[in-house]
Amino acid sequence: MGGPALTTFVLYIGGVLALAWLANRLLRDKNFLSEYFLGGRSLGVWAFALTFAATSASGGSFTGFPSKIYSHGWVLALWIGSYMVVPICMMGLLGKRLNQVARISGAITVPDVFRDRFNSAAFGLLATALIVFFMSFNLVAQFKAGSLILKTLLDSVALFQDASQGLGVAVNEWSFLAGVDPQYLLCLFVFGIVVVLYTAYGGFHAVVWTDVLQGVVMVIGVAILLPLTLHQAGGLTKVTQEMAQMTPPRAGVADLTVSATPHERVVTAGAWAWIESDAGERHLIRLAAAITIGAQQKYVADIRILELTTPSQIERVRTSERTLWMDESMALGNLRTTAYASGEAPGAYVTAPGPSQHSADGFLPLSLAVSFFIMWAIAGSGQPSAHVRLMAFKDSRTLRHAIASVTVYYSLIYFPLVIIFCCARVLMPGMETESDRIMPAMVIFVTDHAGLAWLGGLVVAAPFAAVMSTVDSFLLMISSALVRDVYQRTLRPDAEERMLRRLSFGVTLLVGFGAVLGAIDPPRFLQDIIVYTGSGLAACFLAPTVFALYIPRANTAGCMAGMLGGFGTHLAMYGAGIFVHGSFFRPVHLFGLDPILVGLAVSFVVTFAVTRATAAPPVHLVRRYFYRD
Amino acid sequence: MILSDAESTPPGNVPDDSRLDPTFLHARREAMVIFLVWCVALVWSISICYWLGYGVSTTHLATIWGVPAWVFWGIATPWAVAVVFSLWFCFRYMVDDDLSGRRQTALAEPLDSGDQPEVVG
């Protein structure tokens, strides 16, 4: 991707920063905290709808989700199926009532709502602690996503390559940065600085306005990508038929033999090569990671590779002019691969439960399909980042129109994404080695192929926008939790506005740059982190919020117990995954159910039981929130 | 699971149910309808996808407009229905309520920690 695309992209970033500057002007002469963290509760239809949609459609939607579609095929339509009712559930189940309760209490943040609804400082602090805990993890994952997208965009720009090489040399002596890809590092710094600065400077208004811009960019990106992809893949019927013949690739290792040279050499990740077995069979493999061959080194063992097994994919790689082949002087041998645990029969990519590398039950057994249907729609209603937006719309007419708008908006995004990345399986074989990069890689592939490279900048801006809109919202939520709930309401209730203003800017910067540091060595799987934090927040917040809003008898003890019960159960199931499956991100599924289901069930039951077993709430609180006078 | 008004309202000086806030009542009714719709969507999608999509042979894979039949009937069709329902719900069913907190804030007792309730509306 060259100059024109980069120009489009830079213009987009310029637009984002200009909006932040305008937003900062709005902060003058107004109630600072209310404006900075909640936009003065004045969001109209489009601002509310698009900030809601853009924040929910996170980096996961444009990086992790495409990666999963690519890796598992059509079954992802079922995985994401409950998005048909997500807008009406996420906005309609709690929206009207939450907005009303927040206005009654004057709440600016989600912990404020609990603190005021139950008149309990301890409850507010508990909610703050959980939000900071989960969102910090998520923030790190989103920073990684943004940086990977930027890296793909700038990959072939000479200035970027020079700058990243320079950075690599400059940081080489810093032990904690040793081994970090300098290109990734440069992108992380650029992405981090832009997002943190505009969020800190402009506050909630900046986040909302940039969300609107980003929401528009996202839908335009998908609208452009869909026809281009379908055209290049030869139509959806052809794609599905070809997918029906596909067999899962094999993952494994091989050994490399080279002639010694006096210089160190690097073989790029993603390069293709043929390996001939002892039986004379030829295998097409792709490098899953870059190889560094030291000076005078002749042999490198255990190189991670992916072997294609589908004839049509092998033929496409073999005949493509774009294929990057390994240097022919390097010989690979001693190939050792393992098949997917779900089997190698064709058809897995067009049926349920879909292929899985690790599980013999496939990617989405029925119990997990039910879990995800609950997770996106119902658990989505328990997300504090959504609650903040539900506290910020202007009136109930705005809510009605926004639900309708987001319903249509999501329909234009999610199902088309399934189609686009099913086509990607046909157009770009072997991307399992770096499937988190499939979205930007696909954008560049189809726009270049169509001779519309300049369009690539705008379309790549779509996933970038999705990540940005989530990062800025989460960043602001963490800083609002610390400034408003910990500092102002707990430590210094008499703090002056000037102090709060400085602290808000400072904490937002501090949290943002802290997350950038965390993302220097991020966990590997984006979508796994996003699922963990999203489901964890829902397990903690949904039941207490429902009881707080709709049950007059709800009390502090019941709702706090439900929050802790959900948190503990969810964490225990993930923690048990370390002992049972060897990984925190492969949680135990009790009775085949995802942790979110069990966490939610425990949270609701505990909230109900403890509420019943403990004293009724003070009458004045019940009158205040549930009666006309 | 959900407590009824009779058992959920604590004893003491609370008004009778006829004095319940209409915004609360409308929001609760709308939430129940939405929950019901989600249940219908769940049953529809999961049962159709299980019936047509799980463990089936792909020797003669049925497709509609290039989409596997189980995805078309189990996801795409209810999705279209859900969009139509959502539009009806938003423009015909949901009630416009007064969300202002003025009245209640005036009645409220002081909040903790010296915080003052903010009246926005």
Whether B8 is covered by a domain: the verdict is no
pLDDT at A426: 94
pTM for this predicted structure? 0.83
Residues A601-624 have a mean pLDDT of 94
pLDDT at B108: 39
CA distance A81 to A62: 16
In the three-class reduction of DSSP (H, G, I as helix; E, B as strand; rest coil), residue A286 is classed as strand
What are the tens digits of pLDDT across the range A504-534? 888 888 888 888 888 887 666 666 787 888 8
Whether B118 is covered by a domain: the verdict is no
Q: How far is A129 from chain B (nearest CA, A)?
A: 19
Q: Which of residues 34-63 of B touch A (CB under 8 A)?
A: 34-35, 37-38, 41-42, 45-46, 49-50, 53-58, 61, 63
Number of domains forming the structure of chain B: 1
Taking an 8 Å cut-off on Cβ atoms, the answer to whether A608 and B1 are in contact is yes
Count chain A–chain B contacts defined by CB atoms under 8 A.
271
pLDDT at A356: 93
Whether B114 is covered by a domain: the verdict is no
Q: How far is A119 from chain B (nearest CA, A)?
A: 7
The model's confidence at residue A278, banded by pLDDT at 50, 70 and 90, is confident
Closest-CA residue to A414 (of B48, B75, B64, B67) = B75
> Residue B43 is part of which domain span?
24-93
Q: How far is B17 from chain A (nearest CA, A)?
A: 8
pLDDT at A100: 94
Report the Cα A562 to chain-centroid distance in Å: 27
Whether B108 is covered by a domain: the verdict is no
DSSP state string for A514-534: HHHHHTTS--S-HHHHHHHHH
The model's confidence at residue A629, banded by pLDDT at 50, 70 and 90, is low
Q: How far is CA A6 from CA A61, A151, A247, A523, B2, in A?
A: 23, 12, 37, 29, 55
> In chain A, whose CA is at the least distance from the CA of B83?
A407
List the beta strands (DSSP E) in chain B: 63-64, 67-68
What are the tens digits of pLDDT across the range B5-32? 444 455 556 677 778 899 999 999 999 9
Q: How far is B105 from chain A (nearest CA, A)?
A: 6
Residues A191-213 have a mean pLDDT of 79
> In chain A, whose CA is at the least distance from the CA of B101?
A104
Choose between A54 and A399: higher pLDDT: A399
Backbone angles phi, psi at A287, to 5 degrees: -70, 130
CA distance A491 to A484: 10
Contact criterion met (CB below 8 Å) for B74 and A351 = no
Mutate to test the interface with A, among B42, B77, B99 (most CBs of A within 10 A): B99
Whether B104 is covered by a domain: the verdict is no
Q: How far is A413 from chain B (nearest CA, A)?
A: 13
pLDDT at A33: 65
Confidence check: pLDDT of A206 > 80? no
pLDDT at B1: 43
pLDDT at A193: 87
B97 touches chain A (CB under 8 A): yes
The model's confidence at residue A402, banded by pLDDT at 50, 70 and 90, is very high
Taking an 8 Å cut-off on Cβ atoms, the answer to whether A240 and B82 are in contact is no
Confidence check: pLDDT of A491 > 80? yes
Confidence check: pLDDT of A24 > 90? no
Neighbours of B28 (CB within 10 A): 17
ipTM of the complex, rounded to two decimals: 0.84
pLDDT at A362: 93
Whether B111 is covered by a domain: the verdict is no
The model's confidence at residue B117, banded by pLDDT at 50, 70 and 90, is very low
> In chain B, whose CA is at the least distance from the CA of A616?
B10
Taking an 8 Å cut-off on Cβ atoms, the answer to whether B49 and A352 are in contact is yes
The model's confidence at residue A365, banded by pLDDT at 50, 70 and 90, is very high
Whether B55 is covered by a domain: the verdict is yes
Choose between A464 and A367: higher pLDDT: A367
Choose between A260 and A612: higher pLDDT: A612
